[in-house]
Amino acid sequence: MKKTFVLAGFAGLLSTSAMAETIGVSMALFDDNFLTTLRGGIQAHADSLDGVDVTIEDAQNDVGKQLSQIENFIAAGVDAIIVNPVDTSATQAMTDVANNAGIPLVFVNRQPINIDTLPDNQAFVASDEVESGTLQTQEVCRLLKEQGATEARIVVMQGELSNQAAVQRTKDIHDVIATEECAFMQIVEEQTANWSRTQATDLMANWLSAGVEFDAFIANNDEMAIGGIQSLKAAGFSMDDVIVAGIDATQDALAAMQAGDLDVTVFQDAAGQGQGAVDAALALARGEPVEQKVWIPFQLVTPSNIGDFLNAN
């Protein structure tokens, strides 16, 4: 009988059947809507497999804690490790400690800085962030043109600046605006709210207090988009007067879209990434060939196709 351990001690892991395959999972943070879905995808897929045990731990956004968790997994003798990195610029040390121990490692969702030099027994499962911000911003551009805009002011909220996804999604926005088709868009404010709904609420309130005017609000994720929406509504803005875009298509974001507050999001298949990470980890543990970069496609979500995504995550 298979079991799932969350924040369990390693004694239980060591006492499982000799036939069981064990996977240690270190998540950057439990308290995040998207990462909760990702974690659920890992657990659900492990639950569907015979003889697979997973231990999932919360790194609490602490790089040192995450590296310690990986070292503990190695000491416990797991067959493979899955890591959702706290800081994508700090992944080389994680690669090294796992590789030196001869234990396969799979990075999931957040692209490691050493993606192009991973050893043969390591892989990366995620969605290609070049698609995410590009789809998002192209749709904002289309909506603005549909409204007849010839000049448009844009504010941008970034995720954690140490995170590859935040950097790439923001670059995507700039790259789309640099095209001839969308050159009428101008970024008037761009600051980080660290993926956080609460920080986004505060940042938007600060922009409004400072008199910043804009036609569209593009956020690197849905949580920040929702936080910004809350401040806009609290200040008396009609959501018909501003285009708001996020990324991830979380259930909260889809509810905001159904309410008419959110105009654009991009579906990132968290459950699919979780399943792909488990499959890659098991294959590596068994010595089977695995693509080192496994891409789960992004998909644009708008009010016209939202029905296709309401039960997706």
**CB neighbours (10 Å) of residue 228?**
29
**Fold that domain 129-267 belongs to in CATH:** Rossmann fold (3.40.50)
Digit-by-digit pLDDT tens for the chain (313 residues) are 333 333 333 344 444 444 689 999 999 999 888 899 999 999 999 999 999 999 999 999 999 999 999 999 999 999 999 999 999 999 999 999 999 999 999 999 999 999 999 999 999 999 999 999 999 999 999 999 999 999 999 999 999 998 889 999 999 999 999 999 999 999 999 999 999 999 999 999 999 999 999 999 999 999 999 999 999 999 999 999 999 999 999 999 999 999 999 999 999 999 999 999 999 999 999 999 999 999 999 999 999 999 999 987 6
Same topology, domains 4-126+270-295 and 129-267? Answer is: yes
Q: Where in the chain are the domains?
A: 4-126+270-295, 129-267
According to CATH, what is the number of the domain 4-126+270-295? 3.40.50.2300
**CA pair distance 37, 245, nearest whole angstrom:** 20
- The CA distances from residue 179 to 137, 146, 171, in Å, are 11, 17, 13
pTM of the model: 0.78
